[in-house]
Amino acid sequence: MPNILLTRIDNRLIHGQVGVTWSSHLGANLVLVANDKVAEDSIRQNLMDMVMPETVETRYFTLEKTINIIDKASARQKIFIVVETPQDLLVLIKGGVPIKKVNIGNMHYAEGKKQISSTVSVSKEDIETFKELDNLGVELDLRRVPDEKGENIIDLL
């Protein structure tokens, strides 16, 4: 069983909050970005690696590779998974990745989305996906940084 400390939805993927604040708060030694586009984009990977402490490794896998390889993780790996969307998260969970707790950190506003917090806006598809995740028993904690009080996103939809 992989040692997954937390999974975060953040459309920015790795940035200062993820690379420093969250990974140190969790005690993670591996940040795994599960994203099909970034897995093939070494420039974006290099930019994201710039904000990471030297003590934390990064991996950039497609969703499929994450599903296929996560069970091979070493027990010493303290894994913090970052995905871009709730739909990506659902793919991982349906693929067998044992994710029980999710932090919803940042989902940008766009036309057709409803803003539910200062950093999270959701579409109708996002709402349906969050409800499905909730029905699967996934804990859905909305908060930007670890020292904030979290809220169950279902209560805000």
Look up residue 118 and give its two tokens. Answer: 């200062």
% pLDDT > 70, the chain: 100
> The domain that contains 34 carries what CATH number?
3.40.35.10
Q: The domain containing residue 109 runs over which residues?
A: 4-156
Question: Above 90 in pLDDT, residue 104?
Answer: yes
Residues 6+ apart with CB under 8 A from 110: 121, 123
Mean pLDDT (whole number) for 55-62 = 97
pLDDT value at position 146? 95
Both tokens assigned to 154: 């279902």
Q: Which residues are catalytic?
A: 15
How large a percentage of the chain has pLDDT more than 90?
96
Average of per-residue pLDDT across 125-142: 98
Confidence of residue 17 (pLDDT cuts 50, 70, 90): confident
Which pLDDT value is given to residue 37? 97
Q: What is the pLDDT of residue 59?
A: 98
Q: What is the pLDDT of residue 92?
A: 98
Structure tokens given for 131: 């409800």
- Average pLDDT of the chain is 96
pTM confidence score:
0.96
Six token digits for residue 84: 């871009």
Domain count of the fold of the chain? 1
pLDDT band at 82, cuts 50/70/90?
A: very high
The predicted pLDDT at position 27 comes to 96
27: left (phi over 0), alpha (psi -120 to 50) or beta: left
pLDDT of 9 higher than 90? yes
